[in-house]
Every structure is written in structure tokens, then in C-alpha cells.
Amino acid sequence: MAHSAARRNYRRLMALLLLTAATLIFSGCGGPVLKEQELEGKWVAVGRDTAGGRRDIGFVIEFFPDKTVSLPAGKGTWTILGDGRVEIEIRKTRMFGSIQEDTLTITMADETGVLYFKRQ
């Protein structure tokens, strides 16, 4: 009888440990959450990694507090997603980006390249 109770307690403990480990793993999946103040302002393109086509480097994009963004192609909107990335939408086209250290990286809408920006 005591052996059966010990085994039952052991199984409960293992299930609790497994549940705790899973919770910790899944709650830590996202990177640091981007704050609006980190994004707002002017950013200048300093590099590109594209598969075809020519993209001028040195153009400026600007993120405004009212969630609009000014790009060479026109005005759009931006939103910070739950996973910490920024979503930029212009004329029903979406691009996604993130900031690591002091570099803003934006994946082009057609996923054929990546643009790198530094704060101006």
C-alpha cells in the first residue's frame, strides 16, 4: 500500500515538473518585445541583401507616434506584433522587421531580400 502511494506521488511530481518545464519553454519563445519609442524616428538604409533588382542605399524611412510610416514608396502604417516584430503595411503589402542592438532589419514583402537600417 505504501509503495503504491509513493509511486502515485512520484507520478504526480513528474507530471508537475513536466508541466512546469513546458510552461517555461513556451513562455520564453519570443525575443524581447519591441517598444514603440525604440522604433519611432528616422532610419537610414545602410545595407541590403537582395536576390535581384537594385535598391538604392541611403534612403530614409520614418516611424511616427501616430503609427504611420514614411517610405520612399509612400505612406503606410506600422504595428508592433505580440512576438516583438514590427509589421509595416503600405498599399496592402506587408513587411516585417525587428531591431537587434542598433540595427533595424526589414524583410522585403516578397521575401527576396532584407534591408538594414541605422537610426539617423
Give the whole-angstrom CA distance, residue 42 versus residue 70. 9
Give the whole-angstrom CA distance, residue 119 versus residue 105. 12
Angle, alpha carbons 107-104-116 (nearest 5°): 60
Per residue in 16-32, pLDDT tens?
545 454 444 444 444 55
Per residue in 54-80, pLDDT tens?
566 889 999 999 999 999 889 999 999
State the architecture of 36-119 in CATH terms: Beta Barrel (2.40)
Q: Are 112 and 51 in contact (CB under 8 A)?
A: yes
What letters, b where the CB count within 10 A reaches 16 and e where it falls short, cover 37-73?
ebbbeebebeeeeeeeeeeeeeeebebeeeeebeeee
Q: Are strands 113-119 and 41-50 parallel, antiparallel or unpaired?
A: antiparallel
pTM of the entire predicted model: 0.67
Can you give the pLDDT at residue 12? 65
Q: Which one is predicted more confidently, 90 or 37? A: 90
Per residue in 85-119, pLDDT tens?
999 999 988 999 999 888 999 998 777 788 899 99
